[in-house]
């Protein structure tokens, strides 16, 4: 049986932490679907189409990765529609663990056939968030420790290079 995982997120923007989670997730599944979701609590900087293209470029050459814009739905429903048996989530800190484990329990009640795997961040990515990256970008800070080069360029184009 093919092991299909989904890695859902808004990815606005996609960070090196996200990329590391993709690499970790690929060790666990045959195919990893990066699902670009809509976060209804935040105003997106990039459109879903832009984010899909950015992530495709950042993950080019990684066999087993597929990037899709997910319809507005529960993650568990999308996972089921993709035939996934694993949901991959990255953890930056203990607050992520508390939040993600509660969602994992709810998902298990709705779809016990789908397992949620929580992957801790690599030490150099602890604390990195898309919100922090956007703040650094807004003030023209160095983005290279936080995002792939194509995302650096996309952020500079969107917000202006203030160097």
Based on the number of CB atoms within 10 Å of its own CB, is 88 exposed (0-12), middle (13-18) or buried (19 or more)? buried
Q: Find out whether the peptide bond into 13 is cis, omega within 30 degrees of 0.
A: yes
For the chain, what is the total number of helices (H) and then of strands (E)?
Answer: 6, 5
The catalytic position among 23, 66, 80, 92 is: 92
* Residue 18 is among the residues annotated as catalytic for this protein: yes
Does 11 show up as a binding residue in the annotation?
yes
Is 73 a known active-site residue?
Answer: no
Q: Is 10 annotated as a binding residue?
A: yes
Residue 92 a catalytic site member: yes
Per the annotation, does 89 bind a ligand?
A: yes
Among the listed residues 3, 42, 158, 162, the single catalytic one is 42
Say what the alpha-carbon torsion angle 88, 94, 100, 106 is, to the nearest 10 degrees.
130
Annotation-wise, does 61 bind a ligand? no
DSSP helix/strand/coil, 60: coil
125 is in an annotated binding site: yes
**Whether 109 is catalytic:** no
51 is an annotated ligand-binding site residue: no
Binding residues for ATP: 10-11, 18, 90-92, 100, 125-131
Binding residues for substrate: 10, 42, 75, 89
What residues act catalytically? 18, 42, 92, 130
């Amino acid at each position: 049986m093919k092991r299909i995982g989904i890695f859902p997120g808004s990815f606005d923007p996609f960070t090196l932490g996200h990329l590391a989670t993709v690499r970790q997730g690929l060790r666990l599944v045959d195919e990893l679907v990066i699902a670009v979701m809509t976060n209804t609590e935040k105003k997106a900087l990039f459109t879903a189409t832009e984010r899909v293209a950015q992530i495709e470029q950042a993950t080019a050459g990684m066999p087993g990765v597929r990037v899709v814009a997910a319809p507005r739905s529960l993650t568990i429903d999308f996972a089921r529609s993709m035939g996934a048996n694993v949901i991959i989530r990255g953890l930056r800190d203990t607050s992520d663990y508390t939040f993600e484990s509660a969602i994992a329990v709810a998902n298990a009640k709705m779809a016990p056939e789908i397992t949620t795997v929580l992957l801790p961040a690599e030490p150099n990515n602890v604390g990195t968030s898309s919100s922090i990256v956007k703040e650094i970008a807004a003030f023209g800070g160095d983005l290279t420790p936080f995002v792939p080069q194509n995302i650096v360029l996309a952020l500079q184009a969107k917000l202006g290079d203030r160097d």
